[in-house]
Structure 1
């Protein structure tokens, strides 16, 4: 299988942003993002604000806006990612740069709900994770939900449809460096340095940051029927995803 190793700053700069936008993400669109949207559905009344923390090139935010009817506020630490996000032309969306861990242009309690997809993988230690959770908490209203999508390092070494997490036989400690291979839309692969954050550690850090955990589970391909796009669900057999679902959806409430 063709594979192109890339460095620790692969998502930085214009080329990095374009590379991220070219990730296939087939597994995420089966057992990831649709379940994030499902968890947010209770807050999906028209006019309510959804914060996408670490919005990247804006593709997931665009889907969320059109499916949930919410107004998007996207934030990211990469100005190049925000350029791509604005090109999505999502109705009513606005995007802001995160500097030194804060979205200073945004006031406290400006969002009715938040999602944070695959951001934790880039964070090397507990303080960095707590910093992200703290800023999300600042931007959320009291009682608002936060939905996190993360990879589970327990699935290390398994070849999923669009990713492979870590190396076979390795048990990763919280925050430990862990490579992740991602399939591009052209069928090639790239390797990214990530960090391992097990579900139990994520729950504990959320509680330390002032959130209450309400749900956490690994969506399965069978559950995806009726949640994900039907054509996508039936596009392949998803054998690896059935063997051990690789993604975790954690739902918490801002206390």
Structure 2
């Protein structure tokens, strides 16, 4: 009988720098590896042989048919060796000889895989469903991963020794300074998460905040946190889609880590809607993941991220963002790339999950915890390697005629 090692060498290379062990006694790699792929059953091979792209490997890991032991980043770094297409004919024949024809039928995907949505992409209904899939896991699970700040966006590190909580506070402070917030002004926070930005801006800058989310879990906890901070008179948390906001004007708008849920075809309407909500002289800070020119907006379509993490997410090129802002009437004033900061942020989240693994599994499931570890470690590597970026873009709605605003002549943050 052919051992799985023969197929593994074909797929991963005989010079594999990490360990490999399989249920049939197959072994590859260094004698004392710092990281290993462990295949527990023939179901893993069935997933890989019958699923498109890297979905098969992901499904095998999520269901526990494959384990990733040791340093997750070492395993992520060999991802280019993983089968990115269906097995070629010779590899398929090897799999057939290992499993037998009757055992090569496709397995059903794990229940955590999002079902296909039939509503129009980025319609109110479909966006609500896809956001709920990701953000309504459980607040307890998010607290274990994100830490006390409950902030699910790229932090800003003054040094690598900063704690995650300090770096998240730095991020909120940076955004408030960029927006030149003043006491008594009105701030709209789009995609407010669990209320971190709203609380910081109200407490430290004396602004009145309307903060919106389409996640019921986020809304409930954000309202609780606002109440506990004694800020209920200043901060209103709404369960509302940004497209339904009609009570402007606002002096400033922050959009932190939600722009990826705005479809490429909706960018102009998104910025035009914000422009209409702002008072003359109003400021917008858009904080969002961005892609290289030429990369596809829906880079994740059909893959692991699209099926398990961010269904329908689209990543925009920063030049397109700035052009769309200007087409909506804004003047783009400042752009900052925080790519390395997001790699550090994600590494902190992975460490939090690893340190709280048993509790994270208890508050969600083993499969959900595995999805998050794979997703966050993979994204940390992607940002560290400059395969994705994240930008903050500051824009202003100038007073017309005259083109005046109250922003500083030079950045003072």
Regarding TM over 0.5, the answer is yes
The residue number in structure 2 matching 1:167 is none
Structure 1 segments unaligned to the other structure (5+ residues): 156-170, 182-189, 223-227
The residue number in structure 1 matching 2:43 is none
> Which of 79, 92, 95 lines up with 2:237 in the alignment?
95
| TM-score where L is the length of structure 2 | 0.44
Per-residue deviation at 1:142?
0.8
Give the 3 Å change call, closer, same or farther, for CA 35–119 of structure 1 in structure 2.
Answer: same
Q: 2:255·2:285 contact (CA, 8 Å) conserved in 1?
A: yes
The residue number in structure 1 matching 2:332 is 213
Larger Rg: 2
Per-residue deviation at 1:207?
0.8
Give the 3 Å change call, closer, same or farther, for CA 79–173 of structure 1 in structure 2.
Answer: same
For 1:168-247, list aligned pairs within 5 A: 172-174=295-297, 191-193=309-311, 194-219=313-338, 244=386, 246-247=389-390
SS in 2 for 1:101: helix
Per-residue deviation at 1:79?
5.2
Give the 3 Å change call, closer, same or farther, for CA 26–39 of structure 1 in structure 2.
Answer: closer
Per-residue deviation at 1:221?
5.4
Per-residue deviation at 1:116?
0.6
Q: 2:190·2:242 contact (CA, 8 Å) conserved in 1?
A: no
> Which of 101, 104, 115 lines up with 2:254 in the alignment?
115
d(CA) in 2 for partners of 1:252, 1:10: 29
Per-residue deviation at 1:149?
0.6
Per-residue deviation at 1:210?
1.3
SS in 2 for 1:200: helix
Give the 3 Å change call, closer, same or farther, for CA 176–55 of structure 1 in structure 2.
Answer: same
**Greater shift after overlay, 70-79 or 134-143?**
70-79
The residue number in structure 1 matching 2:395 is 252
Per-residue deviation at 1:140?
1.3
RMSD: 4.0
> Which of 130, 139, 146 lines up with 2:284 in the alignment?
146
**Which structure dedicates a bigger proportion of its chain to helix?**
2
2:188 pairs with 1:62: no
> Which of 204, 208, 217 lines up with 1:71 in the alignment?
208
2:131 pairs with 1:11: yes
2:177 pairs with 1:41: yes
The residue number in structure 1 matching 2:219 is 82
d(CA) in 1 for partners of 2:269, 2:300: 19
| TM-score where L is the length of structure 1 | 0.67
Q: 1:73·1:95 contact (CA, 8 Å) conserved in 2?
A: yes
Q: 1:172·1:196 contact (CA, 8 Å) conserved in 2?
A: no
Moved over 6 A (4+): none
Per-residue deviation at 1:147?
0.3
Deviations for 1:67-92, whole angstroms, at most 9, x for unmatched residues? 43322111234555433332222511
